[in-house]
Amino acid sequence: KMADGDKADTWAQVAGKITAIKQFVKDEKAYLIQLLDAINGFVYPVEAYNAKLANAVLCQVCLLLSASDEVLISKCSHYVTNVVLRQEAAFSEDAQNKCMELFLLSMTPANDAIISDVLYAVAAMARVHSNWKTEYMDALIGSSGVLFKFVPPSSSLQTCRVAVNCLHAIIKHISVSDDAMRQSVVHLLSLLQIAPTHSLDELQMCKFLLACHKTLITMVPNLPRDTLMATLPSLLTVLKDQMYHKLESLGQAGKPSLPVKHPSRHMKKQKKKSGRKENMLSSGSETLTDFTASSDSDLHHGRNADETVGQQRSHPGRHRVQSSDSELSDTESAAQWMRLQNAKVRQHACICLASVLKQCGARTVFGYWSSFLPDTPAPPPPRVAPPTLLTLAMHDPLSHSRCAAIQVINTIFEGSGPLLAAADDKTPHTLQTFKAFSQTLGGIIKEVHYQLLQALKAEKYSVTLVQLLKCLTTIVTNCPYQQLSGCYITKVIAEAVRISGHSSTDVSVACLKCFAAILGSHVPLAEVEAWLLSSSNAPAQSANRKLGNDMLSRPWVISHCLKLFGSNDCQPVQNEAIQIMTVLFKNYSQLVYQHCEDVYDHVVIAMMDSKARHSLLRLLEEIGRCLAAHQCDIGSAKCTEMWAGLLVGPLPLCLRDSSLAVRSVALDVMATIGDSTLKQLNHPQCMMMLSMVLNMSRDADPGVCSAAVRTLGVFVAYQSLFEDIAFMLDSSQSIVAAVATKNNMLVRTKATWSLANLCDVLTNLPDPLPISTYKQLFESSTTACLDNDKVKSNGVRALGNLLAAMGSDLLRSCEGLVEQGLRAMAHCIAGGSAKTRWNACYAARLALQNKHLCSDYPTAVEIVVTSLSTVVYECKNFKVRTKASLALCSVQRCSIPSPTHLAQLFAAVVKALQCSDTLTDFSEYKHCASLKQQLCEVLLHLVGLTVQNDVAEVSKTLTPLFPIVRQYLGEVFHNISSTDTFIQTSDCRGGNKQPAMVDVDQKADSDISSIDFLTENAFKHLTTLLDHSDGCITEECKTFLKDFSLLFNLEQYGKPELSLLLPMVV
């Protein structure tokens, strides 16, 4: 045996002899074969490998050989495979091109003797050379690619498998065109349909199917959408068939199957011999999923808990029979080996199916649910139900296959919440000729819950338990339990509680995530309330229990989570317990508020550990909101005491934490204190808190700065701080400085929200702010209106609040700024996101109500009114149109410079009525009635603004439109008389973190009927017009008033006294 140095020299010598052959003659063929055998005989990797010499060897061999030299081409293929896969080296571009040209010439389906070696070499080249020429790709996977010609029965199944592996390597490592991808997936589907009918070798068939599945798994994420949709039915049909591959041989009718054990020695030798090249190609590649990471030897030895020898399961198909290696013959060992391979086929088919379904999307997958999931219980023996995914999840003997099946179910239910909204699990009382789709969905939900819970009871293997719990978590998140009657949540809780103390950390974490999904997905659920009202680990039988002594006993979920708070040795479990408590106080605070103090004590103790501070602060944030919402029940003294404790220790500690995220969340916690609690703190504590927030608002980190500025935006709205003008001035300076931040949009977004809050309370301050502060606020608001949409939506709201609060003196002192602000407001009304335009219309309404603004700046106000009159009919969003029409109701006469402008407003409102029936999005239909009603209100308001000089121009525009107006007014009055509810708009703004676009369809208080409201307005506005005429009514005015009054047909709607107006006119 030679030393390493000699071996390297020998390799170089052999390589040198090969490159020295300049002309290949027939007599030297044996010599070249001997040299190639020698260079392939070295144990790679070779230490003294020379890349330049290796390239020269490949180039020289490719020049010497022809496509007919089968033996030499096979030796050359081995050389390429050794260098690429074992030496892990790449060839030069010149060597690669020469090699590929030679391989393509020799690669024909008829040349079956060497084709496997050549395909292995091509696959190896694909791994290290991604810049292939287009002609090579066309020759391999083009419209007439050579890889597509290897099909049974013309080629052996082994050759087809090697060709599929080569295709997999090309697709994985080289950029492939969409057309080539389409042809490749069509070819694979045809192979999967044809191959099983042309082979009797079960082992070769399993290997072939696994190769096809591996290739499909790589292809599916990169498939063009149209190709995936075109091949989806065939793809699902093939995968569904192979998901149940050889499942009938597993003793599903009650016969126990033998345990899967390690194969005998001669089986291992056969596997090693036949699979040597496959192992080389697959070495270094990534595992397909997280539950395929275990090696085959682990599975063979039965290291999985549920596959231990002698262990039996409660399901018929998963019984295990105790035996030993000595009791098994070679035939039995071979049978076990085949069962393992068949299970791998099912596993990889499920993995491939999960990948396909994930790419399709929830809506597309929804149409195929009934093909994979049952909607009725299994029939009694001897009848056998067709297999489904649940069959695999419960009965497959290989745990990895069960995991894969459960993963497919999880994928099916992901994002299915809106699609399951129609589910109904109630059994019909009468026989039906057909089964409604809602009942089919209800049956699927019922069977999935029942069988997965049965599997959860029987499962012992921790990885499969985790997958089952993850699947149940996804199902819980998406199912509409509020309209189902099966008590599913109660059963899920019972099983999750049973295994929550599992020794595996992953299982415990999965249980806690399931609890978090139950508490966070559907609020409120009677089953969850019953569980929370019970101090035991099982839910109470009824949720109709009084909140008396039951609330004094701590719920099991709180006790369990508090017990985990101190588990510093298991950080994931502790984090999930904190998440559960956070969701619990967020969604069910009305049931658990009495336990705030207990949880608070544990949180303060746990915050000494810096690892969990961020999650604990999020929990404290929800506790703070709970204290503010239930202060009357908890007691103001206790709330003040808890906050005083936080301000003394934990919060200052967190504000000095090295983690920026912890400091940001600590500021969010401060924002939940509430006005009443802040007022009850002693003065030093209050000043300390305000000083900390003001200091943090100047922090260099954007996250900390934005959180501090948002907290200031909450504080400036507290009435207890209105008299603290110094704090208001400091806050305004910090907010203005944050709005001017150029490099971070998050800071500007939070700052403009706080700016809007500050401008909203200016009229409530006992002492006005200095004029210089108003100018700064005006400049910041105007600048924000020209920023990004997220900033703009808050900036325009601030601008509207500011314009509404300014008196005549302030307006004159900010003359140039006011005009710029109104133009910026008109710009926001005319374009941007729906939220921005809605807020801009809201701001315009506030501004137009300021009489000083309309009289001092009529030209600038006219621009805003013109924008509103355009938005009211052209915006696609009906909520924005409704808000614009509400703003038009605030227009004053001084904002309308001429009769022509008033006539244009009338025409715009009538056009808006006509456009209200044109829907581009059906979701806008629910806002249609409120829009029409508000537009009628605008018409009435405009009549009230009309004077005698306007009548000629207005009647010229409006008279031809009277039939249209009569139609819509009649429709509105009819709707009002049938519902007797007038829908008015409100000026609410959304939440405290970011202002949401609030739904404007809210019912009015309703002692005054809606008909009275509109008809009284009609009388008021027509009377106003008479007053404006000064007793000199022209014929045009008489005609206009008569026609407009008749539009309301007032006698028909129960107001005959208003018709007395007509004689006054005529």
Give CA–CA dist 941/845, Å, rounded.
14
Give CA–CA dist 684/691, Å, rounded.
10
Give CA–CA dist 832/867, Å, rounded.
13
For the ranges 274-283, 481-490, 832-841, the lowest mean pLDDT is seen at 274-283
- Per the CB < 8 A criterion, the answer to whether 844 and 800 are in contact is yes
* Mean per-residue pLDDT, 1-20: 67
**H or E segment and range at residue 1003:** strand 1002-1003
Distances (CA, A) of 230 to 186, 214, 367: 10, 21, 15
**H or E segment and range at residue 984:** strand 983-984
- Per the CB < 8 A criterion, the answer to whether 574 and 568 are in contact is yes
* Residues written for the chain: 1066
**pLDDT for position 1004:** 33
**pLDDT for position 337:** 87
Neighbours of 352 (CB within 10 A): 27
**pLDDT for position 630:** 92
Give CA–CA dist 763/970, Å, rounded.
41
pLDDT class of 1058 with cuts at 50, 70, 90: very low
Amino acid sitting at position 756? A
Percent of the chain at pLDDT > 70 equals 78
* Mean per-residue pLDDT, 327-346: 80
- Per the CB < 8 A criterion, the answer to whether 964 and 913 are in contact is yes
* Mean per-residue pLDDT, 591-596: 91
Q: How far is CA 466 from the centre of its chain?
A: 22
pLDDT per residue as tens digits for the range 766-818 = 888 899 999 999 999 999 998 888 899 999 999 999 999 888 888 888 888 89
The pTM (predicted TM-score) of the whole model is 0.79
For the ranges 132-141, 308-317, 489-498, 956-965, the lowest mean pLDDT is seen at 308-317
Which long-range contacts (C-beta less than 8 Å, at least 24 apart) are formed by 483-489?
Answer: 483/423, 483/424, 484/423, 484/424, 484/425, 484/442, 484/445, 485/425, 485/426, 486/425, 486/445, 486/446, 486/449, 487/527, 488/445, 488/446, 488/449, 489/518, 489/525, 489/527, 489/528, 489/539
Neighbours of 381 (CB within 10 A): 8
Residue 1002's DSSP bridge partners are 984
- Number of Cα atoms under 13 Å in the Cβ half of residue 372: 28
* Mean per-residue pLDDT, 837-852: 92
pLDDT class of 488 with cuts at 50, 70, 90: very high
Query: Does the pLDDT of residue 433 top 70, yes or no?
Result: no
**pLDDT for position 979:** 52
Q: In 3D, which of 466, 244, 274, 250 has the Cα closest to residue 372?
A: 244
pLDDT per residue as tens digits for the range 67-92 = 888 888 999 999 999 999 999 999 99
Burial 670-682 (b: 16+ CB within 10 A, else e): bbbbbebbbebbe
pLDDT per residue as tens digits for the range 111-163 = 677 899 999 999 999 998 888 888 999 999 988 889 998 888 888 888 999 99
Residue 1003's DSSP bridge partners are 983
pLDDT class of 1015 with cuts at 50, 70, 90: low
Neighbours of 68 (CB within 10 A): 10
Q: In 3D, which of 646, 578, 589 has the Cα closest to residue 618?
A: 578
Query: Does the pLDDT of residue 492 top 80, yes or no?
Result: yes
* Mean per-residue pLDDT, 238-252: 77
Give CA–CA dist 1041/1023, Å, rounded.
10
* Torsion angles phi and psi, residue 984, rounded to 5: -110, 165
Percent of the chain at pLDDT > 90 equals 45
Q: In 3D, which of 4, 41, 37 has the Cα closest to residue 18?
A: 37
pLDDT per residue as tens digits for the range 634-681 = 899 999 999 999 998 889 999 998 899 999 999 999 999 999 999 999
Classify residue 876 by its DSSP letter. Answer: S
Decide which of 998 and 742 is more confident: 742
Query: Does the pLDDT of residue 298 top 70, yes or no?
Result: no
- Per the CB < 8 A criterion, the answer to whether 862 and 897 are in contact is yes
**DSSP-assigned letters across all residues of 493-557:** HHHHHHTTT-S-HHHHHHHHHHHHHHHHHSSS-HHHHHHHT-SSSS--S-S---SSHHHHSPPHH
- Please state whether the peptide bond connecting residue 1056 to the residue before it is cis, i.e. omega within 30 degrees of 0: no
Burial 995-1027 (b: 16+ CB within 10 A, else e): bebbebbeeeeeeebbbebbbebbbebbeebbe
- Per the CB < 8 A criterion, the answer to whether 877 and 919 are in contact is no
**pLDDT for position 539:** 55
Place of tokens 């701001």: 843
Decide which of 933 and 375 is more confident: 375
Query: Does the pLDDT of residue 181 top 90, yes or no?
Result: yes
For the ranges 254-258, 575-579, 921-925, the lowest mean pLDDT is seen at 254-258
Helix pair 1010-1028, 962-979: axis angle to 10 deg: 140
Query: Does the pLDDT of residue 1012 top 60, yes or no?
Result: no
* Rg of the chain (C-alpha set): 39
Phi and psi based region of residue 246 (left: phi greater than 0; alpha: psi -120 to 50; beta: remaining)? left
Q: How far is CA 1059 from the centre of its chain?
A: 59
pLDDT per residue as tens digits for the range 551-571 = 457 888 999 998 888 666 678
- Please state whether the peptide bond connecting residue 379 to the residue before it is cis, i.e. omega within 30 degrees of 0: no
Q: In 3D, which of 540, 545, 603 has the Cα closest to residue 574?
A: 603
Amino acid sitting at position 511? C
pLDDT class of 110 with cuts at 50, 70, 90: low
Average pLDDT of the chain is 80
* Mean per-residue pLDDT, 217-237: 93
* Mean per-residue pLDDT, 1043-1062: 49
Decide which of 423 and 467 is more confident: 467
**pLDDT for position 1037:** 58
Query: Does the pLDDT of residue 1060 top 50, yes or no?
Result: no
Burial class of residue 126 in the structure, from the number of CB atoms within 10 Å of its CB (0-12 exposed, 13-18 middle, 19+ buried): buried
Question: Sign of the CA dihedral 630, 632, 638, 642?
Answer: positive
* Mean per-residue pLDDT, 971-980: 59
Q: Where are the alpha helices (DSSP H) in 21-114?
A: 29-40, 51-64, 70-81, 93-106
- Number of Cα atoms under 13 Å in the Cβ half of residue 663: 20
Burial 248-268 (b: 16+ CB within 10 A, else e): eebbbeeebbbbbbbbbeeee
